[in-house]
Amino acid sequence: MPAQQEELGAFVSLAWKALKFDESEEGQQREEGYDHEGSAREEEEDEEEEDGQQEGEDYRPLSRTVSSAASRSTASFDREFDDAPVPYADSAAIQSKKYMERDQVRLALEQEERARRLNKIRARRQHLEKWTQKTSRSPFHVNLVADNERLDEEHRLRMMERARRSRELEKRAKAAKSEVILKALTETSDLELLRREKRAIIDEEKRLKALLDLEKTNSHRKMDLLAARNAEKRRHQEKEEYRRRQRQQELQEREARYKQLLKEKLALEDE
């Protein structure tokens, strides 16, 4: 029995040393990861995927270590019991008990290792989420070349629109200037025409007013109208007669002047 206890203690100490060795390696890896905390986000995601893929692979070395330690302890235990004269029934019971204890220890170690791996993955995810949230507003997430090209294109479009508006305003100013000049040139003739029309309208209004006044004052409307027409006709005839006499007089004067000049030219004496 003391030999069995020593064998069990050796088995447990060996498993504990293997676990400590794995924890020391993990601590070194964690320290190296904290030293390189400023690495790129893509590398951390790749490491997370590799950790998830290698979870089973990392699990195997521990199981192999525990299995090798258990096999070595079992072999030494078998050799010890082969050397000692132990009954077969007791030997089988002891071996089954040791196997059960070994399986329990291995299961506990595997569960502990699995929990440690899960905690590590969870901590790494939290770390990645924290730094992702911190670097969400980083300018390195933006394509600076595309942003610069977009700004250049917007500036070019604004300049084109400004140039188009300038040309349109200049064109409108030139058209307004030409219209003002043309209006100033044609304003004189239009004003003169309007003045003439206004004078004609005023004269016609005066004449009509005089006729209306004449109709109102006289009781014999028709006779007065006839008299007015006859008077207008006589005035017209008198004007025509006066103009005819003036034309005749001008013709006579022109003929006399022509004769006088002809006489002076031919040096003829008056008869």
Q: Which residue has the higher pLDDT, 95 or 80?
A: 95
Which pLDDT belongs to residue 212? 77
Q: Read off φ and ψ for residue 39, nearest 5 degrees.
A: -70, 175
Query: Is 70 exceeded by the pLDDT of residue 219?
Result: no
Angle, helices 2-35/88-134, rounded to nearest 10 degrees: 10
The end-to-end CA distance of the chain, in Å, is 198
Q: Which residue has the higher pLDDT, 64 or 88?
A: 88
For the ranges 115-124, 153-162, 198-207, 217-226, the lowest mean pLDDT is seen at: 217-226
Which pLDDT belongs to residue 152? 92
> CB-side exposure of 137: number of CA atoms within 13 Å?
1
- Ranked by mean pLDDT, which of 72-81, 206-215, 240-249 comes out on top? 240-249
What pTM value is reported for the model?
0.26
